[in-house]
């Protein structure tokens, strides 16, 4: 096994920098949790009325939109990074 690993490594003079890929899904979900959490706290403090069950029932399609936007942004960024590196 070690013989195959050592022969599979190719040494090149050109050093490629790792491509940094931005992942917006974590950011979007983090913001969603912060907003829902803040609404729940404001409900507890009786500043606003917020029912989590009604919120999920009424706004669940928003989660699908957020996931879709995240997937599109990640795909677009991957293509742009590949174009920059020439792959």
Domain assignment present for 39: yes
The total domain count for the chain is: 1
Q: Residue 77's domain spans which residues?
A: 22-85
Does the pLDDT at position 18 exceed 60?
no
Structure tokens at 52: 């989590």
Domain assignment present for 66: yes
pLDDT at site 60: 87
* pTM, to two decimals: 0.48
- Calculate the average pLDDT of the chain: 74
Place of tokens 């950011």: 27
Domain assignment present for 50: yes
Domain assignment present for 4: no
Domain assignment present for 6: no
Nearest to 82 by CA among 21, 15, 13: 21
Domain assignment present for 32: yes
């Amino acid at each position: 096994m070690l013989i195959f690993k050592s022969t599979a490594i190719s040494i090149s003079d050109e050093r490629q920098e790792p491509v940094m890929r931005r992942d917006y899904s974590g950011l979007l979900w983090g913001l969603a949790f912060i907003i829902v959490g803040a609404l729940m706290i404001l409900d507890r403090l009786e500043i606003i009325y917020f029912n989590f069950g009604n919120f999920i029932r009424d706004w669940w399609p928003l989660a699908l939109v957020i996931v879709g936007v995240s997937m599109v942004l990640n795909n677009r960024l991957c293509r742009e990074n590949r174009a920059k590196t020439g792959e």
